[in-house]
Amino acid sequence: MCRTLPQHPRRAKPLTLGGLRLILSRMETFCGSFTQQEPIPEAGIEAAMAVLRGGRLHRYNTAGDEIAQTALLEEEFAAFTGARYCVAVASGGYAMASALRALQVCPGAPVLTNAFTLAPVPGAIASIGARPVFIETTPDLTIDFDHLEAMARATGAQVLMLSHMRGHLCDMDRLMALCDSLGVRVIEDCAHTMGASWNGVPSGRHGVIGCYSTQTYKHINSGEGGLIVTDDPGLAARCVLLSGSYMLYPRHRAAPGPEVFEALRLDVPNISGRMDNLRAAILRPQIALLEDRRHRWTALYRVLEQGLAQTQGLRLIPRPEAEVFVASSFQFTLPEWEPARIAALVARCLARGVELKWFGAPDPVGFTSRYAHWRYADPQVLPQTDRVLAGLIDMRLPLTFSTADAAQIARIIRAEVLSVGQAEVVPVAALSMGD
Ligand SMILES: *Cc1c(COP(=O)(O)O)cnc(C)c1O
């Protein structure tokens, strides 16, 4: 239920004219849901019903010369990214673990990755018994090249799991040149960059393997799901065999020829994690919608950016010209703010219907854990990342929001940043809405 709240309830009996005016003008509150995605397109619902009616949900359960929905999805996603090969799997996290296995990363081996990322990324590294080595984060939320080079040399790591966290692409040309010179192979975690590109090259097509998620909060939605793309026939065949293809790999269409499988089929373990035809049917019509979704997300993002520009105390993340991004979320930083002040801001915005997530909270909340919380990894000290995450605010941007919603959200955040940021003392309790 949406309420209009008095602006300063603690000053219910204002003594000043200014205070009186504040009481008379009511505070606006946002009423939308930050976790409500768009419905599955009708074409996807119809295709899903046809799969359900046929009962053939398993990808290798086909009648006659029928081509499975999963095989068609792989073909279509390969075409969308321009990759030669594609494998559909159970989740984005599974895709990343498969990529590491396909590259034959050994247990105990160091794997470089972003310190600022989501838990399934170090989780994928840990799942194969390898060791995550975290790399510092720049104030623009991308990987720090100097630290990457130093850590690659210090550890001898041969693989970088590059996470385009929250859709921020680093300079991919420089990154690839650096990794090539270091002999480091790059897996791209494109959970937030499906449909994005750097200098015209799609995200996921710079490294040797690209991994995507089709989980509900990403750019196409099948509840759970993952996609792997590569141009390397050996890696593609390994990913197909790893996903649990038994000896049915010839049913894959966006896959290399049988001769590549012949050499590998008895050596690569079946680590069951296939996608099913139901999810593939739901996803196929969404690929064609990605470009339109990107435009709509950009429109929301630009409204927020404009509404928050020149807000004292708040830093927007610059977006490089070479980057085409998909703005399924929005970030800004509050450099040098004390934790109590940020906690107060988050509480105040929440009271006005705006759900902000803070990466600097002492304990992980929801999806926002950070590297120091991942105790299965060797402990590391990353002062630059600590500084950035201490002031990092993150917000979901579902496509169910209108540009008017985005403008209202920006007004609320701006007003609260100015008021909380300039308040001299900010005891959290005194800032609760009081009703
Ligand atoms: C969601 C996400 C993943 C993992 O995807 P799942 O499909 O949920 O396993 C990986 N990396 C990032 C950055 C993500 O946000």
- Which residue in 142, 152, 119 sits closest to 371, CA to CA? 119
Cβ 329 under 6 angstroms from ligand 1: no
Q: Which two tokens stand for residue 293?
A: 């979704």
When the pLDDT of each residue in the chain is averaged and rounded to a whole number, the result is: 92
Split at pLDDT 50, 70, 90, the class of 369 is: confident
428 vs 47, higher pLDDT: 47
Q: How confident is the model at residue 2 (pLDDT cuts 50, 70, 90)?
A: low
Ligand 1 pocket, 121 CB below 6 A? yes
**pLDDT 10s digits, 195-204:** 999 999 999 9
Ligand 1 pocket, 192 CB below 6 A?
Answer: yes
What is the model's pLDDT at position 132?
98
Rounded mean pLDDT, 126-135: 98
Determine the Cα–Cα distance for residues 26 and 28; give it in Å rounded to an integer.
6
Calpha distance 410→330 (Å, rounded): 11
Q: Residue 242 and residue 98: Cα distance in Å, rounded?
A: 7
Average pLDDT score over residue span 186-192: 98
* Counts for the chain of helices (H) and strands (E), in that order: 14, 16
* Best mutation site among 189, 328, 329 for ligand 1 pocket (most ligand atoms within 8 Å of CB): 189
Give the residue whose CA is nearest to atom 7 of ligand 1.
Answer: 92
d(CA 106, CA 114): 20
Residue 254 Cα to ligand 1 midpoint, Å, equals 23
Q: Is residue 7 scored above 70 in pLDDT?
A: no
Residue 177: which residues within 8 A CB-CB, separation 6 or more? none
User: How far does the centroid of ligand 1 lie from the alpha carbon of residue 91, in Å?
Assistant: 8
Residue 12 tokens read as: 């219910």
Which single residue is written with the structure tokens 């799901």?
A: 225
Transcribe 40-89 into DSSP letters: PPHHHHHHHHHHHHHT--STT---TTPPPHHHHHHHHHHHHHT-SEEEEE
- Please say whether the beta carbons of 407 and 299 come within 8 A: no
Residue from 230, 234, 190 nearest 212 by CA: 190
SS3 86: strand
363 confidence band (pLDDT: 50, 70, 90): confident
319-348: per-residue pLDDT in tens? Answer: 999 999 999 999 999 999 999 999 999 999
Q: Say which amino acid occupies 82.
A: G
Q: Tens digits of per-residue pLDDT, 50-93? A: 999 999 999 999 999 999 999 999 999 999 999 999 999 999 99
The answer on pLDDT for 351 being more than 50 is yes
The token pair that represents 265 in the structure block: 């089929």
Phi, psi of 133 (to 5 degrees): -120, 110
* Cβ 222 under 6 angstroms from ligand 1: no
Ligand 1: atom nearest CA of 213 is 7
Q: Are 253 and 75 in contact (CB under 8 A)?
A: yes
Please write the tens of the pLDDT for every residue from 8-37: 444 444 434 444 344 434 689 999 999 999
408 lines ligand 1 (CB under 6 A): no
Counting ligand 1 atoms within 8 A of each CB, the residue from 121, 170, 325 with the most, and so the one to mutate, is 121
CB 221 near ligand 1, within 6 Å = no
Ligand 1 center from residue 118 Cα (angstroms): 7
Query: How many Å lie between the centroid of ligand 1 and the Cα of residue 398?
Result: 16
What's the confidence (pLDDT) of residue 12? 41
The pair of structure tokens assigned to 323 is 């980057």
CA of 191 to the centre of ligand 1 (A): 5
Determine the atom of ligand 1 nearest the C-alpha atom of 211: 10
pLDDT tens-digit series, residues 237-275: 999 999 999 999 999 999 999 999 999 999 999 999 999
The larger pLDDT score, comparing residue 364 to residue 66, is at 66
Atom of ligand 1 nearest to the CA of 93: 9
Ligand 1 near 120 CB (within 6 A): yes
> If you ran DSSP here, which 8-state letter would residue 318 be given?
P
Report, as an integer, the average pLDDT of 298-315.
98
Distance CA(4)–CA(433), nearest Å, equals 11
| Ligand 1 site, residue 110, Cβ cutoff 6 A | no
Name which of 93-107, 255-269, 295-309, 418-432 the model is least confident about: 418-432
Is residue 165 within 6 Å of ligand 1 at its C-beta?
yes
Q: Is the dihedral of CA 348, 349, 355, 357 positive or negative?
A: negative
User: Where do the domains of the chain lie?
Assistant: 17-38+290-431, 42-287
Predicted confidence at residue 403, as pLDDT, reads: 98
Residue of 314, 281, 264 whose CA lies nearest to 88: 281
Ligand 1 neighbourhood includes 213 CB (under 6 angstroms): yes
Q: Is domain 42-287 annotated with CATH 3.30.70.2740?
A: no
Which pLDDT score is estimated for 423? 85
Tokens of 175: 């990154």
Tell me what pLDDT residue 10 has: 45
How confident is residue 425, by pLDDT bands cut at 50, 70 and 90?
A: low
Q: Would you tell me how many other CB atoms lie within 10 Å of the CB of residue 260?
A: 20
- Cβ–ligand 1 distance for 163 under 6 Å, the answer yes
Q: Which two tokens stand for residue 244?
A: 């649990």
Ligand 1 atom closest to 367 (CA): 15
pLDDT band at 139 (very low <50, low <70, confident <90, very high): very high
Using the atom order of ligand 1, give the atom closest to the CA of residue 214.
7
Q: Which of 146, 147, 103 is nearest to 125 (CA)?
A: 103
236 Cβ closer than 6 Å to some ligand 1 atom: no
Residue 414 has pLDDT above 70, yes or no: yes
Taking only the tens place, the pLDDT of each residue in 270-297 is 999 999 999 999 999 999 999 999 999 9
Per-residue confidence band for 429, with pLDDT thresholds at 50, 70 and 90? low
User: The pTM is what?
Assistant: 0.92
* Domain 17-38+290-431 matches domain 42-287 at the CATH topology level: no
Residues 49 and 135: their CA atoms lie apart, in Å, by 45
* For the chain, the helix, strand and coil percentages under 3-state DSSP, each to the nearest 5: 40, 15, 45
CA distance 245 to 106: 23
Residues 6+ apart with CB under 8 A from 1: none
Rounded Cα–Cα distance for residues 129 and 125 (Å): 7
Burial of 370 (0-12, 13-18, 19+ CB in 10 A): buried
Ligand 1 binding pocket includes 245 (Cβ within 6 Å): no
**Sign of the alpha-carbon torsion through 205, 102, 280, 123:** negative
- Measured over all CA atoms, what is the biggest interatomic distance in the chain, rounded to whole angstroms? 85
Question: Which residues have C-beta within 8 Å of that of residue 201, sequence separation ≥ 6?
Answer: 172
Which of 3.40.50.300, 3.90.1150.10, 3.90.180.10, 3.30.420.10 would CATH assign to domain 17-38+290-431? 3.90.1150.10
| Ligand 1 neighbourhood includes 91 CB (under 6 angstroms) | yes
Q: Is 273 in the pocket of ligand 1 (CB under 6 A)?
A: no
